[in-house]
Amino acid sequence: MRITEDGGPPFAQLRDGVRRQIERGALLPGDRLPTVRAMAADLGLAPNTVARAYRELEQEGWLIGHGRAGTFVADHLPAQPSDREAALAEAAETYRRRAAQLGFSPAEAVRALERP
């Protein structure tokens, strides 16, 4: 796996790269990932960057952390959203960010959506 300077945030590149390896079958259920420190050293990243990528993959259901025993590929992978659901999620995230830039709270942004 390679992290590039023009490929976006390093944690996102790592997260997406690990996800792709799982999807392609290069990493199988139960496979142990390198430790955060080992992965950071291999890729020339800060340990916190690797930890963030691992944490996000755990939250999404791709990985399971077992504390000192290590981080493993989950036995059951998360369901992938349909293209339609993914498009809606992207639109919602764009709206959320824009509302925040304009100084609106999440509750105010939701109320604006509910207006006729």
Instruction: Check pLDDT > 90 for residue 89.
Output: no
Q: What is the pLDDT of residues 30-64, one digit of tens each?
A: 999 999 999 999 999 999 999 999 999 999 999 99
Q: Which residues contact 89 (CB under 8 A, 6 or more apart)?
A: 81
Q: Who wins on pLDDT, 2 or 27?
A: 27
Domain extents for the chain?
10-73, 83-114
CA 86, 91, 94, 98: dihedral to nearest 10 degrees? -160
Q: What are phi and psi of 65, to 5 degrees?
A: -95, 135
Residues 6+ apart with CB under 8 A from 34: 42
- The answer on pLDDT for 82 being more than 80 is no
Mean pLDDT across 5-22: 91
The more confidently predicted of residues 82 and 23 is 23
Model-level pTM? Answer: 0.67
Q: How far apart are alpha carbons 90 and 42 in whole angstroms?
A: 32
Average pLDDT, the chain: 91
Relative orientation angle of helices 36-43 and 10-24, to the nearest 10 degrees: 110
Residue 39: which residues within 8 A CB-CB, separation 6 or more?
14, 33, 45, 50
**What pLDDT score was predicted for residue 81?**
67
In this structure, CATH architecture of domain 10-73: Orthogonal Bundle (1.10)
Mean pLDDT calculated for residue range 53-78: 94
In the DSSP assignment, the letter for residue 7 is S
pLDDT at 70: 95
